[in-house]
């Protein structure tokens, strides 16, 4: 899912992984602004009329009407940090706009991280994917909300509010270096490894795989010793 929101601001700290729901606001209810793109035609979803119409917004379409006079702060939210979300974020960032990626897993990369070769060229999946993952992490215009989920999207075209729930890693992301020492020492060794589809086990504190982005340990609260 891809939203082109405006005025969205960074609200969820990348830090300690606290539980909670954080709003990301797009636009301003008093002065809603115009959106540029709504390829699926969801524009004008305010059917009950209980919200003001975005300036310059034509009823029932996502077209920007000319001469609205409303400034647009272009910023995007990409839901899902698989290869499609990563490429989308990189393209938007390359165009000079800020992007937020929300990924429910502890790392971005999605299913492609589990592949060996890609059809039809039999290119190495990791050789394609991992440089893009690193590029995402290093790009100043891209914010990655890993281990997070979108709880709600409200508002209307040009004026979105998004609630992002950041799940607890029980590890301080700002301090973890990804050294793996905690994984090595963890006594719980019998947790089915999702990355390998349960064909082997991982520890209760784990980093999904060596090239994970962000490379930060996560404590699986459901895995009891």
What gap in Å lies between CA 107 and CA 193, rounded to an integer? 14
Number of residues engaging ligand SF4 in binding (CB under 6 A):
9
CB 184 within 8 A of CB 146: no
Confirm or reject binding of residue 188 to ligand SF4 (CB under 6 A). Answer: no
Q: Please report, as residue ranges, which positions from 202 to 221 form the binding site for ligand SF4 (by CB under 6 A).
A: 217
14, 149, 180, 195: which one binds ligand SF4 (CB under 6 A): 180
Confirm or reject binding of residue 95 to ligand SF4 (CB under 6 A). Answer: no
Of the candidates 156, 204, 155, 147, the one whose C-alpha atom is nearest the C-alpha of residue 16 is: 147
**Phi, psi dihedral angles at 154 (to 5 degrees):** -130, 180
The b/e string for 49-78 (b: 16+ C-beta within 10 A; e otherwise) is eeeebbbbbeeeebbbeeeeebebebbbbb
128, 137, 182, 223: which one binds ligand SF4 (CB under 6 A): 182
x-or-dash pattern for ligand SF4, window 146-175, by CB under 6 A? -------------------------x----
**Choice between 2 and 209, CB closer to ligand SF4:** 209
178, 193, 209, 211: which one binds ligand SF4 (CB under 6 A): 178
CB 158 within 8 A of CB 165: no
Interaction site with ligand SF4 (CB under 6 A): 171, 176-182, 217
């Amino acid at each position: 899912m891809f939203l082109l929101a405006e005025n969205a601001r960074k609200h969820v700290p990348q830090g300690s992984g606290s539980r909670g729901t954080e709003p990301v606001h797009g636009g301003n209810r008093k002065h809603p602004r115009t959106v540029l793109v709504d390829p699926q035609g969801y524009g004008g979803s305010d059917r009950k009329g209980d919200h003001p119409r975005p300036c310059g917004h034509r009823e029932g379409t996502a077209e920007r009407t000319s001469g609205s006079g409303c400034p647009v702060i272009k910023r995007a939210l990409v839901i899902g940090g698989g290869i499609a979300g990563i490429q989308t974020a990189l393209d938007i960032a390359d165009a000079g706009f800020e992007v937020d990626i929300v990924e429910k897993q502890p790392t971005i990369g999605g299913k492609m991280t589990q592949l060996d070769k890609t059809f039809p060229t039999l290119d190495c999946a990791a050789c394609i994917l991992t440089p893009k993952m690193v590029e995402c992490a290093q790009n100043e215009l891209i914010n990655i909300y890993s281990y997070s989920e979108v709880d709600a999207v409200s508002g209307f075209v040009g004026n979105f509010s998004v609630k992002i729930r950041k799940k607890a890693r029980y590890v301080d992301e700002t301090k973890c270096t990804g050294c793996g020492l905690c994984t090595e020492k963890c006594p719980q060794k019998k947790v089915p490894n999702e990355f390998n589809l349960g064909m082997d086990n991982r520890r209760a504190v784990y980093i999904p795989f060596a090239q994970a982005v962000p490379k930060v340990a996560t404590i699986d609260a459901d895995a009891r010793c």
